[in-house]
Amino acid sequence: TLLDVGAGAGDLLVGAERLAIANPALEYVAVEAAPTAQLMARVAAARDAGRVAPKSRIVASIEDAPEPCDAIILANVCHAMGHERLAETLAAALRRLRPSADSRCVVHEVEILRRGERSFVMWTPDDHRAAFAEIPAVTVEERAYRRTIGVPIHTTVLRYDGTRSLPADLGAELRAGFERLLPTKLHDLLKKREALGAEVEGEPQRLSRALHQRQYAFVSEQCTNVLVILHERRLVELRGSHGPPN
């Protein structure tokens, strides 16, 4: 079973078919609260043509997904979840993952979003490793993939082989883990923004300047989003739109 969380238009299914991963024995399950016509058409076409298993379908939430799953994919969706929802989603995913050395939950994110979005926070493989630091039942690995075009990507692989039990309150533990990371993440983002600002001022090439400006705006927006989260939890005081955090 392949679980596609936040399936969007069904691009993962199309990719699986192109790579000949899809087959009549593969149960493809898309998780999408508001499925598009394109997603519904792609799933129906693949199922009717026998390219995936007859049980392949779309469900509204991860709680409705079958278990166990051999692979769970979250492609370019985690940044759009608040860290609390992300923690609960990862906990639900890991509970549905088949306990096996061959099973995996894959979190995939680009380094820069193609279009601006609000309230996003990009969690890197190092962030996931730190968030899971006190959960030894789960192994966290970083995967690097070369790309000839586009922006860099971050891929995190979560494994659960069943040799240790998952905590009963896994969601709460992950939520606390992500919250512990927020002050350090803000510090690192501010340093990165400062470095990018210097590069923007000194870069003579137009295309490179445009990319650096995009990165600068992207990192700046993340700084604001993390500050808001910290302020909501009374972990930092906002002194104004241009003032430093207290």
When pLDDT is cut at 50, 70 and 90, the band that residue 173 belongs to is: very high
Residue 116 in this model has a pLDDT that exceeds 50: yes
- Specify the pairing of strand 57-59 against strand 139-143: unpaired
pTM for the complete prediction?
0.85
Structure-block tokens of residue 222 = 């993340």
Q: Quick one: pLDDT at residue 243?
A: 45
CA atoms within 13 A on the CB side of 32: 22
Residue 174 in this model has a pLDDT that exceeds 50: yes
Q: Quick one: pLDDT at residue 237?
A: 55
Judge contact between 90 and 61, C-beta under 8 A: no
Mean pLDDT of the chain: 86
As a whole number, mean pLDDT of residues 112-123 equals 73
Q: Quick one: pLDDT at residue 244?
A: 47
User: Bridge partners of 155?
Assistant: 108, 143
As a whole number, mean pLDDT of residues 123-146 equals 91
When pLDDT is cut at 50, 70 and 90, the band that residue 22 belongs to is: confident
When pLDDT is cut at 50, 70 and 90, the band that residue 190 belongs to is: very high
160 alpha carbon, distance to own chain's centre = 18
